[in-house]
Structure 1
Amino acid sequence: MIETKRNGEWFQITIPNEWENYTVQDLFRKVWQAPKKQVHALRMEKRVFVNEKEADWTQLLRKKDTLAIRFFQNEALPYEAKFYDITILYEDDHLLVVNKPAGMDTHPNSPEQNDSLANAVAYYLQSKGEFRAFKHIHRLDRDTTGAVLFAKHAFVGALLDNMLEKREIKRTYLALIHGILKNKKGTIHKPIGRDRHHATRRRVSSSGQDAITHYRLVKVDSKRNLSLVQCMLDTGRTHQIRVHLSHIGHPLAGDLIYGGKPLFSRQALHAVKLQLTHPFTQESITCFAPFSDKPEIFPDIDPHQLP
């Protein structure tokens, strides 16, 4: 793990063995693969220091050098702050993972909306005196519960966006579906596009975007003719799990849009686990999201026991 600490507005990194003989520029562009625009801004604004001196971006770094980057200056919150009692699954100076409840959008869908998870995060950070240009890295549907990852500043947000695109952030879901699965595991690789007959629906479409869902049978509920399945995504299309499982004849229970029966007040889908390697410390992070409406929908499953 790479040694780091915060010092006021500055983030400090002790250069490890593997970064010796990189230049500062190499570190930003090759190791972190940061966007050129952000790297240029840091350089022009003199927000990068090495051993307490303004960085020479072409000088080779040495083991135990101290790299300092000014990440934590106050900025305007991107959303109106509105109180909601949210559950924090993980937090440090750069990342925040929140357990989203049902019936809440991940972010506002209009300028006047202020009851989304992003509004609640704005309030939470403001209450701690952290005024940051935070952003969500991925989204969950309004009635899907579970782990949502936020970046607390723009630079780490860019790194996380890149990690998500490269499938280095792993998301695991639990879905309760109609019918008994014949195969205990499988992969659904079908493109997903908009349904021109329904404004909010998606459908499997040859002209849609590539979408890959892996699934595994966890448990069978023979009395209710339901299967509990674990799903992992290689892509993050809108309604992906809902569309894919409906496409193979097993819509989610409670998902009226995609053929499910009204057994519950919402579709039975929960983002149960989020895994990533911290972009700065290289620490392995695994977050488990407890069920907020258990046992109404999900059976007695311990998220920590899932593979």
Structure 2
Amino acid sequence: MYITNRKGSLFEVIIPKEWDGKTVDAILRNVWKLPKKMIHTWRMNQEVLVNNAKANWHLPLAQGMRLQVPFFAKTEQSVTATKMKIDILLEDDHMLVVNKPAAMKTHPNEEAETDTLLNAVAFHLQSAGEECDVRHVHRLDVGTSGVILFAKHPAAYAVLSRLLEERHIKRTYRAVVHGLLSRPSGTINKPIGKDRHHPTRKRVSPSGQTAITHYQVISSDPKRNVSLVQCQLDTGRTHQIRVHFSAIGHPLVGDRLYGGKPLVHRQALHAHAINIPHPFTGERIYCEAETPNDLIHLFEFHH
């Protein structure tokens, strides 16, 4: 855990023991791995401070010094803020984790759309007096519920996106699939590409992008011939879990696009948890989203 403070537009971190001797340049470039353009702008504008004075970028810093970086500079909100109730699981100066309802889109695809989760999060921040352009770090399909991570400032967006890509952020999903799986756990490693015959559907295709899903059977119900599985992804392809389980003959319940039966009004997929190594505080953040009511009865055989 680092000792940090927010001072107006500045994020202040007290240099911890493990950064002793590192320069400002090394922290921004090698520890946080911020975008070069961002670092360059701050440097040209002399916006980074050490102990309230303009930073010397190549001077080794000592434990206990205060590094002050302009993370919270005001930015224009790029989406319409819309008042809607949202379920916030965690919020700090850098990020929010929100539990998305199944029927809601993650973000608008055109300006006219103002009823997505991103619009609701923008309203939440605006009404708290925060002038920032919030962005989603990843997305969930319409029809999938659960945890979504949002970044409140450009540095957080850059670092969290990289951590997700490098698989340091772990997301756990739960799905109810048709059939009883022959193995208690396994890995589905099948590339996913477009389906030429359908505008929105994806399919397993040798020329597609690498896609890897690890799963574990939590429980199964032979009477209803369904299984509850927990999944972790090494890749984040569109519809990945849905395509993969359909490809091994166990489509998701309710997922009519990929062969599931409509026992519920949507695909039975819930982003259950997220585990984040917090880039700016040194904490490990873990959030879980409760299973929504429409899936509870499908999960009932799980004790």
TM-score, scaled to structure 1: 0.96
Q: Give structure 1 stretches of 5+ with no counterpart.
A: 303-307
Asked whether the equivalents of residues 146 and 289 of structure 2 are also in contact (C-alpha less than 8 Å), the reply is: yes
The equivalent of 2:66 in structure 1 is 66
> How big is the shift at 1:300?
6.6
The equivalent of 2:56 in structure 1 is 56
Asked whether the equivalents of residues 218 and 302 of structure 2 are also in contact (C-alpha less than 8 Å), the reply is: no
Q: Which amino acid is the alignment partner of residue 156 of structure 2?
A: V
The equivalent of 2:145 in structure 1 is 145
Matches of 1:296 and 1:126, distance apart in 2: 37
> How big is the shift at 1:182?
0.7
Tell me which stretches of 4 or more aligned residues in structure 1 moved more than 2 Å.
292-302
> How big is the shift at 1:33?
1.1
Q: Which amino acid is the alignment partner of residue 4 of structure 2?
A: T
Matches of 1:47 and 1:296, distance apart in 2: 54
Matches of 1:154 and 1:300, distance apart in 2: 43
| Alpha-carbon spacing, 1:301–1:150, altered in 2? closer, same or farther (3 Å) | farther
Asked whether the equivalents of residues 193 and 208 of structure 2 are also in contact (C-alpha less than 8 Å), the reply is: yes
SS of the residue corresponding to residue 295 of structure 1 reads helix
Q: Which amino acid is the alignment partner of residue 21 of structure 1?
A: G
> How big is the shift at 1:297?
3.7
Matches of 1:296 and 1:166, distance apart in 2: 36
Asked whether the equivalents of residues 213 and 233 of structure 2 are also in contact (C-alpha less than 8 Å), the reply is: yes
Structure 1 residues 125-144: aligned runs within 5 Å: 125-144=125-144
Q: Does residue 295 of the first structure (1) align with residue 296 of the second (2)?
A: yes
Matches of 1:109 and 1:197, distance apart in 2: 23
Deviation sequence 1:137-175 (CA, Å, 0-9, x none): 110001100000011000111011111111111000000
Matches of 1:78 and 1:223, distance apart in 2: 50
> How big is the shift at 1:296?
3.9
SS of the residue corresponding to residue 164 of structure 1 reads helix
Deviation sequence 1:26-73 (CA, Å, 0-9, x none): 001111111101111121222210011011111110010001112223
Matches of 1:45 and 1:78, distance apart in 2: 24
Matches of 1:299 and 1:115, distance apart in 2: 31
The equivalent of 1:305 in structure 2 is none
The equivalent of 2:169 in structure 1 is 169
Aligned sequence identity (%) = 53
Matches of 1:38 and 1:169, distance apart in 2: 23
Q: Give structure 2 stretches of 5+ with no counterpart.
A: none
The equivalent of 1:253 in structure 2 is 253
> How big is the shift at 1:292?
2.3
Matches of 1:261 and 1:140, distance apart in 2: 21
- Of residues 40-49 and 266-275 in structure 1, the stretch that sits farther from structure 2 once superposed is 40-49
Q: Which amino acid is the alignment partner of residue 117 of structure 1?
A: L
Matches of 1:45 and 1:85, distance apart in 2: 39
The equivalent of 1:239 in structure 2 is 239
SS of the residue corresponding to residue 175 of structure 1 reads strand
> Across the two proteins, how many residue pairs are aligned to each other?
302
> How big is the shift at 1:301?
5.4
Matches of 1:2 and 1:287, distance apart in 2: 20
Matches of 1:296 and 1:196, distance apart in 2: 36
Matches of 1:86 and 1:297, distance apart in 2: 24
Structure 1 residues 17-28: aligned runs within 5 Å: 17-28=17-28
Matches of 1:123 and 1:156, distance apart in 2: 19
TM-score, scaled to structure 2: 0.97
The equivalent of 1:107 in structure 2 is 107
After superposition, the CA RMSD in angstroms is: 1.1
